[in-house]
Amino acid sequence: MRGFIIRRILQIIPVFFGILLLLFILMELSPGQPLSDLQDPRITAAHRERMLARFNLDLPVRQRFFNWIADAVRGDFGESITHRRPVSELITTALPATLTLSISAMLVSMLIGIPLGILSAVYKGKGIDTVFTIFAFIGISMPIFFFGVLLILIFSVNLGLTPVMGYGSPPPFGRNETLMQIWADRAWHLILPVSALGLSGAASYMRYTRASMLEVIHSDYIRTARAKGLKESRIIFRHAMRNALIPIITIMGLQLPGLFSGSAITEAVFGLPGLGGLLLQAVGGRNYPIIIGMMTIIAIVTLASALIAEILYAVADPRIKYD
């Protein structure tokens, strides 16, 4: 087990630096540069030179790559070209919205998808199964942004139940309110985005759970449990479910990049101040420090969570042996 973890980490390290190198190469190959006079005609050549030097953008790409790594190890991700603020600060301001949205959406997906998947497998071929399967197809095929727009149209515009967009009520609110009220307000703003992202995700959790459950239900030890005369509910919830849910751990780890993608789109629909918005802002101005900083952090998070999922999988299922 320890050997497996160490080997995996040794595999992840070149992957991580590969991603980083790829990003630097892409930026080097791309036409155009930051601070070009196309973006702001007032920029003079001398000024531009000075600015490029300030951000070390005049150095050759190889040196920039190693400089960046040396700085990043010390926790310095550079300074944003347009904001004049450290990249780490900008990312930490955008991170809460994205994380709140993605984590709540993931919980919603699992809370809805897994029980429905189990029911679907237990009642395979019956009416319930057909209905849930159709819902799963709808969920997988519905574009998140269109779903979000429809939710806004129904619940905000027509019924007036929820706010149209934003990550909380505008400023006068929040000066005199208690922390509880602010959180309640935030939750109220997040109902629609979390539903949009969570329900789309629920469909795939449902399908994986159903497939995994069906596989387990047909195995010998379940037949043994039935032969012993155990109650059906006990067979399903105590014997089958435990094994059927193990592969879901892997799915959780694997779905993370998709979750971030979905969250970027959802943020755009509902006007949430998250990573997606920051990236869209940054790419317009060729804000290389932000682009690299953000992609690095996302890559670390996804690589780490894939590794954690693999380890958890082995812990949860003693039959899995990684030599």
Rule CB under 8 A: choose which of 182, 295, 311, 316 binds other proteins: 295
Residues for the chain: how many in total? 323
Determine if 131 is a binding residue for other proteins (CB under 8 A): no
Determine if 115 is a binding residue for other proteins (CB under 8 A): no
In DSSP terms, 95 is beta-bridged to: none
**Alpha carbons within 13 A on the beta-carbon side of 245:** 16
Structure tokens that stand for 50 in this block = 């000075």
Rule CB under 8 A: choose which of 298, 309, 310, 314 binds other proteins: 298
Residue 203 beta carbon to other proteins: minimum distance, rounded to whole angstroms: 10
How far is the C-alpha of 46 from the C-alpha of 58, rounded, in Å?
13
Determine if 146 is a binding residue for other proteins (CB under 8 A): yes
Phi, then psi, of 36 in degrees rounded to 5: -80, 160
Q: Residue 193 or residue 262: which is nearer to other proteins going by CB?
A: 262
Determine if 22 is a binding residue for other proteins (CB under 8 A): yes
The stretch near other proteins (CB under 8 A) out of 35-43, 51-59, 167-175, 287-295 is 287-295
Q: Which residues contact 222 (CB under 8 A, 6 or more apart)?
A: 216, 235, 239, 240
Rule CB under 8 A: choose which of 62, 107, 284, 320 binds other proteins: 284
Determine if 61 is a binding residue for other proteins (CB under 8 A): no
Q: Residue 217 or residue 236: which is nearer to other proteins going by CB?
A: 217
Query: Using the 8-state DSSP alphabet, how is residue 40 labeled?
Result: -
Rule CB under 8 A: choose which of 27, 43, 95, 128 binds other proteins: 27
Determine if 26 is a binding residue for other proteins (CB under 8 A): yes
First-to-last C-alpha distance (Å) of the chain:
7
How far is the C-alpha of 192 from the C-alpha of 149, rounded, in Å?
10
SS3 79: strand
Rule CB under 8 A: choose which of 137, 173, 183, 221 binds other proteins: 137
Whether residue 243 contacts residue 216, with contact meaning beta carbons closer than 8 Å, is answered with yes
SS3 86: strand
Whether residue 95 contacts residue 253, with contact meaning beta carbons closer than 8 Å, is answered with no
Interface residue list for other proteins (CB under 8 A)? 11, 14-15, 18-19, 22-23, 26-27, 30-32, 124-125, 137-138, 140-146, 149-150, 152-153, 157, 164, 210-211, 214-215, 257-262, 264-265, 268-269, 275-276, 279-280, 283-284, 286, 291, 294-295, 298-299, 302-303, 306
